Chain A
Amino acid sequence: METELEKARTEIKYYKKIAERTGNLYLRETEELSKIITRLKQTEKTLTKSEQKLRNIIEHSNELFYLHDTDHNLLYVSPKSMEFFGYPPDEVKIKWMELMTSNPINQAGFEITLKAIQTGKKQKPYILEGRRKDGTNILLEIEESPITDENGETVLIAGAARDITARRQAEEEKEKLETQLRQSQKMEAIGTMAGGIAHDFNNILSIILGNTELAIRDVPELHPVKESLDEVRHACLRAKDVVRQLLSFGRNSEMRLRPLDISIILRESLKLIRSTLPSNIKIRQDFDEDIWTILGDPTQLNQILINLSTNAADAIGSEDGILNVSLENVELLRHDPELNLEPGRYVKISIRDTGIGISAELMERIFDPYFTTKEVGRGTGMGLTVVHGIVETHNGRINISSTPGKGTVFEIFFRSIDAAPVDEVPANNTPPHGKETILFVDDEKAIVKLNKTRLERLGYQVLGTSDPHKALEMFRYKPIQFDLVITDMTMPNMMGDELAAEMIKIRPDIPIILCTGFSGRISEEQVLEKGVRAFIMKPLEIQELAETVRNVLDAGSSREPNS
């Protein structure tokens, strides 16, 4: 019994030892295993962190990253795809090719990728043009790196795409701005030049116009030369308008807006256009009745029709064609986003031709200054720029639609106003007369002579001189003898406004009329502020001259200078 107990105790000790050792072994093993797991976890964590870091870089980068195999199957596309194309990466993976436009630069790009796959060498960056979900285009600068296997064979292409749309637009914008700047400088130069020659040109015109008007009055009504003289006068008046238009590029020409019935202006313009357009072009006129009143400058509106008609004629060329000018009232009930017109009542002018039309590419540029498709010497490239400028200054809108080979339509909208048109003052062919004494000053002797004769024929006593200093001396000698002084603005020894100022110092109530062909030196308002009573543009028409002289004299000394 004792032996059995001893044996059992030994056995228990033995089993306890086994259990203890097994337990310890398990503890040690699991501890070791734990260390391995901990290390693995740490490694995994480091890898996860590193991957996260890399992912963060990729996902927060401004570039879209992708990975494709040698068959161009996209294996990875970074989430930037959403921003670039409006599609999530998985969709972009599938429809990459669909997202590319038909722009030939894309083909060139694919060839560069192909070369990278074939050679396993990095190629130069290239440009791709894609289309976003919203239909707009995106320009991508692509830089790809081939990933090769141990044999140097390309297995993958890793690429980064940078959105350069904005950059390219900015570049284009910059280029456009630079062009505009150059054009603006060119315009400025022309303006200066135009201003310079305008004075001389107007003087010449003044002489031709004035003498023609004198001759018209001298020849009998039914004399055959009268008709020719009328033509000369008519041509002078057109030349005067041309000079005025020319000057308007050099400075902000003053617009004289007034409520008007544009149908009257356009009818008159079409009469003139009819006589100038070649006979192969038929003019059709389709005007609604009771056209609403608009606020406009008749001369400038006339210019619109002239310029657009000239363009139409050029577009029609020598073939038979039709120029259709229509005028209608239009009421917009809601905002027109295309024309950017608010709801309201408008008068719409449509000028339609059956010419060669304008291609979509050229359409964007036709209002650019100096842009012309005409042969050298046939067009200045300013016609449509002028039209655009006039429409803009009238707060109007212009819309062009064109089908190459079929013709072009210009639609111009002017907002109507609730006012009755101011009728043109009917031409009074009898210039007003007078007996007052006038001092006439102009550095051009022929102009002095011409206007002296004109004014004398109207009954005035006229003293004329081409020297402003002499004029000042004459005035200083006996200021009271003159009822009115008419002086040119631009004179070599003394400017007209300086002469006027000196005279006003001597006799503050002396009425002075300043006339000019061009002056960048001083505006009409400034002149009037200095006490000059009126400001008239050369060349002077007898009617305008006579009326201005009479008006100033009749206002007389009742008006205080500087009032």
Chain B
Amino acid sequence: MKIGIGYSNDQDSLLLGKKVAEKAIKNGKIEAPAMIIAFCGGRVDHEAYFKGLQTPVGEKVPIIGGSAIGIITNEHLSYEGFPAGAAIIESDTLEHIESSANNLHKDEKRAGQRLAEKLSNTIDGKLLLMFYDSIKKPPTENSPPVINGSPPLIEGIEEKLKLTVPIIGAGLVGDYNFSATKQFCGSYVESQCVIGSLLAGDFKPHFSIMHGCVPKDGIYHTITRAEGPVLYEVDGKPVIDMIDEQYGSKEWSTQLPVRRLTIGVNYGEKYGEFSENQFVNRLIAGVLPNREGILLFEPDLAEGNEILFMLRNNKLMMESVQKNTAELFKTIIAKGEKPVFGLYIDCAGRTALISETLTEEASEVQNIFNRYNTRLLGFYSGVEVAPMLGRSIGLDWTGVLLVLAENN
């Protein structure tokens, strides 16, 4: 498998796409591209960028991906200006089939089903790469953004996909304002879509999830009123009041998303040792205009669920990314495999800008990839999708690292 990575940051979107593709071709010595995984910042003209990517490779090579808040490669990391990056893959043994489904905002589950129906019974897939539009409705002056939920989407996919393959992917966001996004659906560019690529062949997928949150106080609360992604009451009290009290002010509700506090669900032992791998976090996307409730990034919390208030922890985030990335590589090497390509799907909240760290968390990933001389493409996302606790799940505030390896 040959991988070429291209990166550029240029206002001229057509030129940007051309440069990125040309760099990737040069960088990977690509002769016969099989597929392209590409992302670009929200300010980039996606259609022009897409055409630019096609310029050196032609229109027959499928391009999957779409909007991202920023781009990470072995040498670059940027979420300012007009960043864009792509991985061009060439392989004689890689089998892949792409599919897309639209109208995600109308029915996530149905979109998932339609996507999977097209992929089913085709190839003996080992991995499903899946990228979807996170923004159902961009925020307005009076309302927070409405998010396309990953649980129904994944449910729809798993329902129709006959193979049991891990789903690795992301809910795409293009900027911190939660503006509308676009997806690269193989041969065209569209919004409110989910794009999937089922991969098969002589490669081995390995992945790891990087966390970064700890329980605020270890006190469990029960949801007493929730509706879809909106959480109204916890322990019979308005959740807004509870959070006001925790912060000591109402200032937090102006944050989009809320930066420090998340809602966590512990899938492990209730009072057992803290294990980040057992926690699923839900980002608070915003506050309803009438301050009646909080809008979560996913609609999967229901009345009766026990939750904890979680706090983002930079130290844990850095330790997690360093430890998990290094361990993943060690595992791959120990198995006698050779890592060839990494896709890092990193929550946009983990940038130094939002998490207020002095260094970029993703730079730890870059360091380890460079140490192992392995090509890396990463991007900043809204939701990360990866298998956890035995099933594929949408995650918040995590970094999902996928590494494709080949037998030595």
Contacts and interface: CB of A to CB of B under 8 A. Distances in A.
Given A20-B217, A31-B252, A37-B356, A26 B259 contact: no
B245 interface: yes
A61 interface: no
A247 B318 CA distance: 94
A24 B356 contact: no
A8 to B, nearest CB: 15
Contacts of A27: 216, 246-247, 260-261, 311
A526 interface: no
A17 to B, nearest CB: 10
Given A20-B219, A23-B246, A27-B247, A34 B356 contact: yes
B390 interface: no
Nearest to A19: B217
B264 to A, nearest CB: 13
* Main SS class of interface, A: helix
A280 interface: no
Contact of B356 (A20, A23, A26, A41): A41
A16 interface: yes
A393 interface: no
Nearest to B215: A23
Nearest to B218: A19
B144 to A, nearest CB: 20
A155 B298 CA distance: 62
A23 B309 contact: yes
Given A27-B261, A34-B260, A41-B356, A22 B247 contact: no
A42 B336 CA distance: 47
A38 interface: yes
B272 interface: no
A37 B353 CA distance: 10
A26 B215 CA distance: 11
Interface residues of A, number: 15
Interface in A22-63: 22-24, 26-28, 30-31, 34, 37-38, 41
Given A23-B309, A24-B245, A28-B248, A38 B216 contact: no
Contacts of B219: 16, 19-20, 23
A20 to B, nearest CB: 5
A56 to B, nearest CB: 16
Interface string B295-319: 0000000000000010100000000
A49 B245 CA distance: 38
Interface in B201-249: 215-219, 245-248
A508 B260 CA distance: 115
B356 A22 contact: no
A490 B219 CA distance: 125
Interface of B: 215-219, 245-248, 252, 259-261, 309, 311, 353, 356
Given A23-B218, A24-B216, 5 more contacts: A23-B219, A23-B246, A31-B260, A34-B260, A38-B356
Interface of A: 16, 19-20, 22-24, 26-28, 30-31, 34, 37-38, 41
23 contacts: A16-B217, A16-B219, A19-B217, A19-B218, A19-B219, A20-B217, A20-B219, A23-B215, A23-B218, A23-B311, A24-B216, A26-B216, A26-B311, A27-B246, A27-B247, A28-B247, A31-B247, A31-B260, A34-B260, A34-B356, A37-B356, A41-B353, A41-B356
